Structure 1
Amino acid sequence: MMSPLRAAIWCAVSTHAQHEPEKVSLPEQEEQSRLHAQKNGWQVVDLMKVPGHSRRHIDFHELAADAAEEGIDAFYRLKAHWEAKDFDVLIIRDGDRFARTQALHAYITEQVIKSGATIFSLADGLIDERNYRMWIAMSGFKAAGEIDRLVKARDTAMTDLARRGLPITSRIPISHRVIRDEKTGKAIRLVVDEQRRRLWDDLAALVLEGVAWDSIEVELYKRYGHVNDKGDMFYPNQMYRLIMKLLFWGHMARFHNSKDAENGFRYGRWIYDPSESIPDGALIFRNTHEAVWAGELADKIRQEIDRRSEHMRGKARPCRTHILSGLMICGECGSFLATQTDERYRGVYCPAAKRKSPMLPECSNRGVLSQRKVIARMDEYLRQMLCLNTTDIFSDQAPDLPGLQKRVAKLNAEITELEDQVRLVIRKQMTAHEEVQHIFDEEITKISDQLKVMREARNRLQGEALAVQHNSAVQQATLEELANLTLERFWQQESRYVNQMLHRLMGKRRLVMLSGAVVGVVEVNRKQRRHC
């Protein structure tokens, strides 16, 4: 009498969710495999389970090691079986149970066959040395293609969640909480965690006070007693990282942290300013849910973040800001002016003209301009703004919002015309002969390139228009604040507060100093740095 065949059973799922009854669960796979072994008189010598581990690897040994770290020894046991040649048939549900990549699928199949065993797939039947290469080709392609489709479907689903302002990860920042449907448990919307409102108000006060980012957690603890859920002080820079999240400002995004993108830095003005360029390949969805700060307070915070990132250099600290910090540039080399202070005199000068440094341009503008004279000139500008009730007193620097809007409208019309044109070309291509198909392809490619350039231009102009509208609103609100305060009381404030208000009023405009005198006003764009 012949000995029964020795059968090893392999059961695997990719996620723990597949333990649910409606999925092809581990118990169901085991039951089906044991019934088949019993029906054929096979002796089950081992049961190997993979309860929720990704099999999208290339290298088997790497997969086995990763699984072992999670307490799953099935891959090592399978390897031991084919090395010991102590089984005759491996029962599996289908080809993607032990592999989701073609390379891994081929490796495991070949090792089983080389050990002298066969594979019985409940979906495909018997696989032995006669047909295993065909099975590798067919099942491997199916397994890899299936996971590729799943990945693509998941990406689409995640993008849809982001577009609707719903979380795409289980880790929600402490600024917000998820409202869920009472019956289904599904996320409905994100809302600000108002139970922490005192924390958000105190955090805003510290930012506007000029407390450095690396000191905010300490001050939140010492001054106000704010602690995390464990009762400990928030960890260093936690508040900075929180503020520099899109979700904090009411926005969502995908693919926005790519280190390979030209502008794919983790933090930047694009997080809260729609006029700024976004990281390459990123998808940004603006105003999808509540922001922690809104209105005038949010505008002040954004302006302060910009002020710190653009004008805090070297050992400078935001709490010790000079009254003119970041407001003046050299008329010769364009460098931002530095401050000279002693017991009897305060003034500004061009650091490039005073210091020898390879990091600074050559400059001969060696004059020092008295702070008193600069404040007198700035006071003249402020009085003019108050008199005319507008910050646009520099006629050649006034933003042309209507002009921007007209250019956007014109581009929209041209884009629509091109889109109609490409649709017409596609319809004609459908009935054209094969010999001229390449001509239609070339025309479609040409129009597509034109559309891409025009859409990028439109997006840039729309960003500029939004920036003009936003900056105008901020400047007007600050001007009203100045009117209520009066100029006399304004100049009596701490230097930091004066500097903050001047930055909000001036926007990107800066005073120009040449030969020891203020000679004009220009608009500048300074590259953003890591925030202080």
Structure 2
Amino acid sequence: MTDVSIYARYSCEKQNETSLEDQIRRCRELALRHGLLVNDALIYTDAAASGTDKGDSARDGYRRLRQDWDAAKFDVLLVDEFSRLSRDAVEQAVLLKRLENNRRVRLITADGIDTQDPDWQLRLGLQGLLAQHESRKLRHRVDRGMVGQLERGYMIATPAYGYDLHREYDAREEHVGSRWRINPQEAAIVQQVFAQREAGESMHQIAAWLNSEGILCSRKARNADGGHWRASRVKNMLQNPIYRGVFVWHGSTTYAAKMKTLGLPVTTMEYARPELRLVSDESWQRCNARTISRSGYGGGAHALSGLLTCVCCGGTLALSALKRCRSVYCPACTEAKSSKQDESRMTSTVATAGVEIMLKHALDYFVSEPFIEAFRHSLQLRLTGDRQSGVDECEARLAKLKASQERLSRMLVDLTEEDAVLQQRYEETRQKVAQTRERLGQLKDGLEEVNTAVAQAQLAADPRQYLQSIFDADVAPQRLRAVLARLFPSIVFEGKTSRYISTFKLRFSPSVAMALASGTEAITTSEIEARFVLRYWPSSKKNETRWTVNTFDMPARRSAATVDVNFPSHASA
């Protein structure tokens, strides 16, 4: 008695089960021509499963076929085409070796292959090459079809959290494409997640809130309770550009990792989907900026954590342990000076209490009446149609970003080993260059209109009252940190001129100050730069010290202020 088996597979969801029935029917006809009888218990099938190595894990039928082959449960294997077994070159080679070493099993295909023929290896090898070529052509056709759907305004992926899938059909009830529609309940949760991140909360805190509220996880749950939110899931949500109304083709980290393995460049394409926007561009950028946390997940246990940078190496300053006096210092320079004996590095430290006093003085300086009036005048010009100032600001911003990108690019080239942080900074700067260049084009073409209601709200707002409240003792450190990061795009510690004198260079965004005070989005990207000298005055009396802050490098205004050390501290115990 000869045990005869059949294997059938179709690879695409657009096909259907009749494809399996047709393959099995042809194999039964093939068996009759050879005088064989098929054992119905030895019919293996896989539906909508790829024939490449990537799809093997989903091919239960093929896995059982190999197990029964090893167990010698059949003598003849019938398939419609050799490519039904596999399209992968490695798996095809394994099958060929298996057939050569185990001649007890005979392979017969409906398109003319029979391992009892003398030249079956050559014919099977040629068919294998054709199957691999067809697989590559199929991938190309699938990619081309997906891009075509995106160009026509449809969506091609499973909806992200916050959206529902809506299928569209033509007059003949044939599926022509799918679109995403905003799910109001889930969209509100997405917006709350962005709001909490903007306020400085860590991703772990946001995940804990989602779990405590009983909100079902965005991914397919493995159990009946709806799954469990984790910080990594929150991070993926915040990084998804669809929430700012942009779908990125080949923008997933999985695709990037695959291209890196293959040694190929990642080519992405952006497709605008303004109808799917849930948050503003500014909000999305802030939630994905490194100013909220250096690790990418945290929320800042201290109000100054990650805000200051080193003038020497450009690295982020760290906070010392809470002992006698908490201070900020540059760990990269400290390590370089210690291990490499690099005396050019800056290893100065400055107390966080003094830095907070300096920042408070800087706010008083930057939001003084002359600066506020200058900003209001600029905003009034925008309302009256003067766009040239906006173009000039954008060009200046683009020039700075391009210079920063070139500097980071040179640093990456000079590296002897991979630096993930530096690479991330380069990617962030590159994205900002592209966005600013696009914004400049819109301004020059006259496509950007000033939101009158927002401009009027900012003209009426007084940022001084708002900014005084952010330093209240009951303001959470992460909240203060998020606000300071927006107000001061750059806080550079330039070192010390003596034991008690430290210098800083700050860039301040008046537009952000007006936006925060009015509860709106910033309209301009203009920034003001100034230097400040922080001096510590020790006292012989217990618990009595004073700090002096001076402003310089600003010929139009020079100021000095002396502030008590009883400044509310936002340090975390």
- Are residue 363 (structure 1) and residue 346 (structure 2) matched? yes
CA–CA distance in 1 between the matches of 2:120 and 2:62? 31
Partner of 1:98: 85
Q: Deviations over 1:464-502 (max 9, x none)?
A: 42477999999x979965961431342223466565444
Closer/same/farther in 2, CA of residues 245 and 68 from structure 1, 3 Å limit: closer
The CA distance in 2 between the partners of 1:30 and 1:314, in whole Å, is 56
Is structure 2 residue 22 aligned with structure 1 residue 50?
no
Q: Distance in 2 between matches of 1:332 and 1:105?
A: 58
**1:102-123 deviations in whole A, cap 9, x for unaligned?**
5544654575576367654332
TM norm structure 1: 0.62
Note closer, same or farther for the CA distance 1:470–1:388 as it changes in structure 2 (3 Å cut): farther
Q: Secondary structure at the match of 2:160?
A: coil
Pairing 1:13–2:9 present: yes
What is the match of residue 312 of structure 1? 293
- 2:248 paired with 1:252: yes
Paired residue total: 431
For structure 1, the residue ranges without an aligned partner over 5 or more in a row are: 265-278, 409-457, 525-532
Check conservation: 1:211, 1:318, Cα contact below 8 A: yes
Q: Kindly indicate which of the two structures has a greater share of residues assigned to helix.
A: 1
TM-score (normalizing by structure 2): 0.58
| Distance change in 2, residues 1:78/1:503 (3 Å) | closer
Q: 2:32 aligns with which of 10, 28, 38?
A: 38
1:77 has 2:68 as partner: yes
Question: Residue 26 of structure 2 aligns to a residue in which SS?
Answer: helix
Q: Is the 8 A contact 1:166 1:189 kept in 2?
A: yes
- Report the counterpart of residue 128 of structure 1 in structure 2: 116
CA distance in structure 2 between the partners assigned to 1:120 and 1:195 by the alignment = 56
Paired letter, 1:287: A
- Determine if contact 1:391/1:506 at 8 Å carries over to the other structure: no
> Contact between 1:246 and 1:253, CA under 8 Å: does it hold in 2?
no
Q: CA RMSD in A?
A: 5.3
- Aligned-partner Cα distance in 1 for 2:295–2:431: 35
Out of 380, 388, 406, the residue aligned to residue 374 of structure 2 is 388
Query: Please, which of 432, 437, 448 is the counterpart of residue 465 of structure 1?
Result: 437
Please say if residues 26 and 49 of structure 1, whose CA atoms lie closer than 8 Å, have aligned partners that are also in contact: no
Q: 1 or 2 for the larger relative contact order (CA 8 Å, sep ≥6)?
A: 1
Identify if the C-alpha distance between structure 1 residues 479 and 334 changes in structure 2 by more than 3 Å, giving closer, same or farther. farther
1:194/1:116 Cα in 2 relative to 1: closer, same or farther (>3 Å)? closer
Deviation track 1:186-235 (CA, whole Å, cap 9, x = no partner) reads: 5432232213244234334422333221011333455x664559666852
Tell me the residue number matched to 2:513: none
Question: Unaligned 5+ residue runs, structure 2?
Answer: 219-223, 339-343, 379-388, 403-429, 509-526, 528-573
| Separation in structure 2 between the aligned mates of residue 303 and residue 161 of structure 1, nearest angstrom | 31
1:486 correspondence with 2:463 = yes
Q: Write out aligned runs for 1:53-64 (5 A).
A: 53-57=49-53
Partner of 2:273: 288
SS at match of 1:11: strand
Distance in 1, Cα, partners of 2:88 & 2:481: 59
Matches within 5 A, 1:362-441: 362-363=345-346, 365=348, 369=354, 371-383=356-368, 384-389=370-375, 399=393, 401=395
Summarize the Cα distance change of 1:352–1:136 in structure 2 as closer, same or farther, 3 Å threshold.
closer
Residue 143 of structure 2 aligns to a residue in which SS? helix
1:219 and 2:209 aligned: yes
Paired residue type of 2:83: D
The 8 Å contact of residues 161 and 167 in structure 1, kept in 2 or not, is answered as yes
**1:131 Cα deviation after fit:** 2.3
Residues 248-297 of structure 1 deviation map (CA, whole Å, 9 limit, x = unaligned): 33322316425976998xxxxxxxxxxxxxx95141314335445334xx
CA contact (8 A) 2:203 2:298 kept: no
Greater shift, 143-152 or 310-319, is seen at 310-319
Structure 1 residues 356 and 479, CA gap change in structure 2 (3 angstroms) = farther
Name which of 322, 325, 329 aligns with 1:351: 329
User: Aligned partners of 1:315 and 1:155: how far apart in 2?
Assistant: 32
Q: Distance in 2 between matches of 1:484 and 1:143?
A: 68
Q: 2:136 aligns with which of 148, 156, 174?
A: 148
CA distance in 2, matches of 1:389, 1:289: 30
- Kept in 2, the 8 Å contact 1:49–1:74? The answer is yes
Q: Which moved more, 1:131-140 or 1:181-190?
A: 181-190
Q: Given that residues 177 and 192 in structure 1 are in contact (C-alpha distance below 8 angstroms), is that contact kept between their aligned partners in structure 2?
A: yes
